[in-house]
Structure 1
């Protein structure tokens, strides 16, 4: 690929719109592909981007090319996939329908999604991309606040594979003031991130901002138990999660179980969380949408079933999220009630 990147954000919701807006500000051509509702919102208000450090900028509606049909992204050569994991194969098929075999040899795809299977699912429908089909990892949280406002509430660096194409996209992200890095073990990075992402479901069930949740030791003990169970199942399955940055999976349960004064001191040096931050699963439940529970805690349960492990804590979390989905997201559990439901003392 002659590298004159033209980006398409596929599934331009919270994460995709935030990343795309930063790329636009840096001068890259970007087309956002998403829902009609958000298209109308952006056409009316433009985009306001902010983060936990106080950084902010705005883009006028005229600066944003937001469409609802992927066919309008045919002039792009770098596709950042940010759709929900359940839609990964379909978006891969849509990309295939845009291009001839020769044209496919000139594009790059990056999966910036939750879960560990997305890049492999894209490969199943786009096998010819090979090392141009890149798994990616997004560590931070973005909340859609309405009226075109998107806020990054937690810290962290985007991660890409350390091949030639990963390094080229990494350069673009850094130019767009998006902290990023490359890593040689993306499978390990994705499993490591999934362990931390188990908090996505806990935060949704708690129904409070992330900082408020993590300030309560009982919630932290629940999360520590979820991660410990996940680590055990990964170990029995022969999977070694990798750390990316300061978030080290095997240390997490120890840190989470610390008394408040020690936890706050250690955690503040590892991750920044502002008072507005919530998990994407909380947002899905809040708006009555289907969650990605089967691609997060559900992955731990799937592995557990393969090796005959009961995985009682993560299995119960999956069940409670299912109940919350059927109850239009109205379920909310205080720390003691949830701890008792999970059998955690």
Structure 2
């Protein structure tokens, strides 16, 4: 597809000055796509870790690579983007995309507050969980701050400066108020290849809750260890997913909070159906037949072994996870409103144990996953729901 450089407003091309805070999969991919369409993009990164790896790879290769699936690969020349370790690069920004881990929001907010002088600069958090943007608001009272719900999976190879979108579509949801502050942003995102929807505030919040329930799967994928498609072929992992999602929905329902899309309510049932011996057996038999008839290479086209959750990457590389903002939050909200959440509590404990392994965590076996679910639900039957407490 051919798109114009920048966003067209009244026949005039306008380029955004974008600073992406962080150089993880989503931030690098979205920033790269914007740079490909002519927007000036700077990645504000640390001098260590992924930021350093990516900047060195781009300098060496001369470009950043974007694999868009069926649309093919694109290369973003290094002249089209820049890297900085100094927050002074925030000075000319019109848009700041926060793509760091949620756990760093306090530090990020203070940094932004110290270097964003223009109250018109729009800040958008590309982060998991509920109300991530609210972490930033107290330090940026003059700036419009939003969260973006991102429905997309991206995997990276930092050494090759390669970012691959493994989901068939890339969908972004934003509060429609963002267009009042930066009218060119929706068109710029669409031109960069993202299906972008602007929603009323209440609709956006409901969509955010739906993504929150889906993201409860991140921790299960991290514990399971294999790719997301492979995880969905594991009956034990799928049953654990269903139980975690059912608890999350029960907590939100008890709090009187609606969820979109409506299909989210059916996810636990669909997952339980997927985990039944008949359905699971049919899927495995079909894959076995494909492997026998067409070869194992064809199976890899059906079961992509690349996509993992971001939490799996965190455990793999010995980083802290966002568990407290996902399954841990379900546990906290359940305690507050009197809803038992034994499965999410058990998952949270397991992830915290895995964090202490510092990158040497061993994935759980099928038996381990079955035992985790059985033990947590058995414990729930023996324990009364605690009285309502404040989070």
Q: Name the CA distance, whole Å, in 1 between partners of 2:154 and 2:148.
A: 16
Corresponding residue of 1:302: 332
User: Structure 1 pair 194/314, CA: closer, same or farther in 2 (3 Å)?
Assistant: same
**Which TM-score applies when normalising by structure 2?**
0.79
The superposition leaves residues 241-267 of structure 1 with CA deviations (integer Å, 9 ceiling, x where unpaired) of: 222xxx831011122122437997xxx
Query: Residue 22 of structure 1 contacts residue 178 of structure 1 at CA under 8 Å; is this kept in 2?
Result: no
Greater Cα shift, 205-214 or 180-189: 180-189
Q: Name the CA distance, whole Å, in 2 between partners of 1:15 and 1:71.
A: 23
* Equivalent residue in structure 2 for 1:232, among 235, 240, 250: 250
Corresponding residue of 2:155: 143
Corresponding residue of 1:340: 371
CA-CA distance at 1:169 after TM superposition: 1.9
Q: Name the CA distance, whole Å, in 1 between partners of 2:282 and 2:34.
A: 35
Corresponding residue of 1:161: 175
Please say if 1:97 is aligned against 2:97. Answer: no
Please say if 1:256 is aligned against 2:287. Answer: no
Other structure's SS at 1:241 match: coil
Corresponding residue of 2:137: 123
Corresponding residue of 2:195: 179
User: Structure 1 pair 331/119, CA: closer, same or farther in 2 (3 Å)?
Assistant: same
Other structure's SS at 2:142 match: helix
Q: Name the CA distance, whole Å, in 2 between partners of 1:213 and 1:39.
A: 33
Other structure's SS at 1:248 match: helix
Please say if 1:56 is aligned against 2:59. Answer: no
Greater Cα shift, 332-341 or 48-57: 48-57
Query: Residue 30 of structure 1 contacts residue 65 of structure 1 at CA under 8 Å; is this kept in 2?
Result: yes
Corresponding residue of 1:326: 356
CA-CA distance at 1:161 after TM superposition: 0.9
Count of matched residue pairs: 329
Q: Name the CA distance, whole Å, in 1 between partners of 2:340 and 2:282.
A: 30
Corresponding residue of 2:94: 77
Q: Let me know the Cα RMSD of the aligned residues.
A: 2.3
Runs of 5+ in structure 2 lacking a partner? Answer: 1-8, 284-301, 379-391
Q: Which has the larger radius of gyration?
A: 2
User: Structure 1 pair 111/319, CA: closer, same or farther in 2 (3 Å)?
Assistant: same
Please say if 1:43 is aligned against 2:43. Answer: no
Other structure's SS at 1:138 match: strand
**Which TM-score applies when normalising by structure 1?**
0.89
Query: Residue 42 of structure 2 contacts residue 82 of structure 2 at CA under 8 Å; is this kept in 1?
Result: yes
Alignment of 1:6-21 (within 5 A): 6-21=17-32
User: Structure 1 pair 262/109, CA: closer, same or farther in 2 (3 Å)?
Assistant: farther
CA-CA distance at 1:108 after TM superposition: 0.7
Alignment of 1:165-244 (within 5 A): 165=180, 168-184=184-200, 185-243=203-261
CA-CA distance at 1:331 after TM superposition: 2.6
